[in-house]
Amino acid sequence: MDNSIDSDTLRVLANRVSVRNFSEQAVSDDLIDAVLKAAFRVPTSSNIQSYSVIVVRDQGTKTELARSVGGQKHVITCPVFLAFCADLTRIDVAMQRNNYTLDNNNLELGLVSSLDAALVGTAAYLAADSVGLKGVMIGGARNDPEEIAKLLGLPPRVFCVFGMCLGFAADVPEQKPRIRQVDVVHRERYDAARVAETIDQYDADLAVHYRATGKTTTDDSWSYDVASKFGKRPRDGLRAALKRMGFDFA
């Protein structure tokens, strides 16, 4: 890799970490609005812009949200919580005006709206980081999407794909290693023969990192953790809940 290639964006990405401890420094509405304005310029499938963002500052609401996402205390202590939502309400109205219906929507539209929300959220995270804000994504917003919808007043055909805590950092943790670039970038064709070696290497790299930061782990740190988590079919009721909310992922 040519190390002379550099930019502000490359440095923001290269130095990114998840931050869960926030200072008492205020985060202005103007700052959040500037971050979101930039994020809304990301690509969107067929220009449907099937996302909405709920900005939450109320302490009572954040406390209730924290319970629903698994007791994550940083949802309470962060100055600002953003809920990135897949939102089919606008396309629903547009279709009704043209004698169509969303009642028989399929997997594609659910994926498109979820991806739209994810693209906006990722861009917002990076835009926030570029102006000094830090934060962490909250996938636990999908633990109970119907309860989250009640807390945020979401109408039918809107669900929170994930949340984000934002604020100025009280402390920044050590950056966690990623799987090596050479192991996730394939040239021309996918090289399946590398998968087992990739896992072994990353297990070792992550175990070294965790132990250096004082965390107890196994030698097969990554593969053990992901197998333990996803072997139990997490959020097994999610598909049914989303269907009740107007998103068909069948």
pLDDT at 105: 81
Kindly report whether the global pTM for this prediction surpasses the value 0.75: yes
Specify the pairing of strand 158-167 against strand 80-87: antiparallel
Give the closest residue to 194 by CA, choosing from 185, 203, 207, 206: 185
- Residue 34, φ and ψ in degrees, nearest 5: -65, -40
* Bridge partners (DSSP) listed for residue 240: none
Pairwise CA distance, residues 59 & 74, whole Å: 12
Reduced to 3 states (helix: H, G, I; strand: E, B; else coil), residue 164 is strand
Give the closest residue to 124 by CA, choosing from 114, 112, 134: 134
pLDDT at 99: 95
End-to-end CA separation in angstroms for the chain: 43
pLDDT at 84: 98
pLDDT at 1: 65
Q: Are 204 and 198 in contact (CB under 8 A)?
A: no
DSSP element (H, E) containing 119 = helix 107-130
User: pLDDT in tens for each of the 250 residues of the chain?
Assistant: 677 899 999 999 999 999 999 999 999 999 999 999 999 999 999 999 999 999 999 999 999 999 999 999 999 999 999 999 999 999 999 999 999 999 888 899 999 999 999 999 999 999 999 999 999 999 999 999 999 999 999 999 999 999 999 999 999 999 999 999 999 999 999 999 999 999 999 999 999 999 999 999 999 999 999 999 999 888 999 999 999 999 988 7
Q: For the chain, how many residues are written?
A: 250
Pairwise CA distance, residues 226 & 215, whole Å: 17
Residue with token string 């794909």: 161
Q: Which residues, in sequence order, are CB contacts of 213 under 8 Å at separation 6+? A: 173, 174
pLDDT at 2: 74
